[in-house]
Amino acid sequence: MKNQNGYTKGPWKVAVTSDGFISVGGEAMHEMSGFIPTTFKNTVADVWGEEDARLIAAAPELLEVLHAFPMLMVPATTAWGKQVQDWQDTALAAISKAEGK
């Protein structure tokens, strides 16, 4: 199932089998162990690195946090203000990248 932004609705889960197959997806359709991977109704990615899979699985929650991140009105004339502005710019760029803008 897709959400209003077009990507598969989270939360996403990671399934790892004993043969190293790693899949990331939404709602599980079949949960199995051994050589048959868990299958998802909506598979998001198949990857070889469990670390990559965990990062991918966290994407919906990370995007939600970025959307909720308060944009602070701090003057960029101080070192702290410049740092806050840099963080905000990075957050907005990440949101745009995730949403294909």
What average pLDDT score do residues 72-96 get? 83
CA angle 90/96/99 to nearest 5° reads: 140
pLDDT of residue 28 exceeding 70: no
The answer to whether the beta carbons of residues 41 and 76 sit under 8 Å apart is: no
Question: Of 67-71, 86-90, 93-97, which range is least confident?
Answer: 67-71
Residues of the chain with pLDDT > 90: what percent?
A: 0
The answer to whether the beta carbons of residues 44 and 54 sit under 8 Å apart is: no
- The pLDDT tens digits for 62-73 are 888 888 877 777
Read off the DSSP letter of residue 78: S
The answer to whether the beta carbons of residues 1 and 26 sit under 8 Å apart is: yes
The span from the CA of 91 to the CA of 93, in Å, is: 5
Assign 38 a pLDDT band (cuts: 50, 70, 90).
low
| The predicted structure's pLDDT at residue 36 | 47
Does a cis peptide bond (omega within 30 degrees of 0) precede residue 37? Answer: no
